[in-house]
Chain A
């Protein structure tokens, strides 16, 4: 069974960079799209971006150029970096498999931007 596990710091200071990793088990990271989505009480579920195993990616224009996504096929992991965070980036962050019809296979991780 495919499982995803998000990991990373739960606290990030304003203006710093949020970094998260998603470890995939039960499936190869090859030949699939991989996705980051976040959830806040105020804005609900919001797409961050998705990427293919070759590194091609698309991110939500609302996040401007703050998003970088990458994949490490040797570790079966993919990662998210969000720069210049503010309190508005406080959210539960989910990684998921597929793009147009995502499967949430992890528990999500709460990231709080807090000084």
Chain B
């Protein structure tokens, strides 16, 4: 299985400051159709995961533009330009290129 690694696993942030989460895969996530199936999810306490970003950098409808995704191949990043209180959550990357699809362990973002 493709192993997804995230860093850091815990990220204390200051309101209004930027935050960045790294995700690395054990294999390239470029699929045979040319797309890269790397997604980012946000899971707030007590809620189900919510997809924020799909195919590396496409923001879902309703997701604030302070969230952005980038990367290629095996290295990917989720950035929050200015953290707000509602961004306290666990963030997961997930690859949909190689079956079985796999998630990273999650990065817990909270306010310091």
What is the minimal beta-carbon distance from A106 to any residue of chain B, in angstroms? Answer: 7
Report the contact-size class of chain B (Cβ under 8 Å from the partner). Answer: 20 to 34
B50 at the interface (CB under 8 A from A): yes
Residue of A nearest to B101 (CB): A47
Q: Once bound together, how far apart are the Cα atoms of A103 and B58, in whole Å?
A: 14
Q: A-side interface residues toward B, CB under 8 Å?
A: 44-47, 58, 60-62, 94, 99-104, 106-108
A94 pairs with B48, CB closer than 8 A: yes
For chain B, what secondary structure do more than half of its interface residues adopt (helix, strand, loop), or is it mixed?
A: loop
Residues of A within 8 A of B51 (CB): 101-104
B39 sits at the interface (CB 8 A): yes
Whether A58 lies near B48 (C-beta < 8 A) is no
What residues of chain A lie closer than 8 Å to B100, measured between beta carbons?
A: 47, 60-62
Q: How far is the CA of A47 from the CA of B49 in the complex (A)?
A: 13
Q: How far in angstroms is the closest Cβ of chain B from A37?
A: 8
Residues on B facing A (Cβ under 8 Å): 1, 31, 37, 39, 41, 48-51, 54-55, 92, 94, 96-97, 99-103, 105-106
Q: With the chains together, A94 CA to B48 CA distance in Å?
A: 8
Chain A hits for B101, CB < 8 A? 47, 99-100
Q: Are A58 and B99 in contact (CB under 8 A)?
A: yes
The 4 closest A-B pairs by CB, nearest first: A100-B96, A101-B54, A45-B103, A100-B37
Q: Contact at B48–A101, with CB atoms within 8 Å?
A: no
Q: Is the CB of B39 within 8 A of A44?
A: no
Q: Report how far A65 CA is from B1 CA in the complex, Å.
A: 18
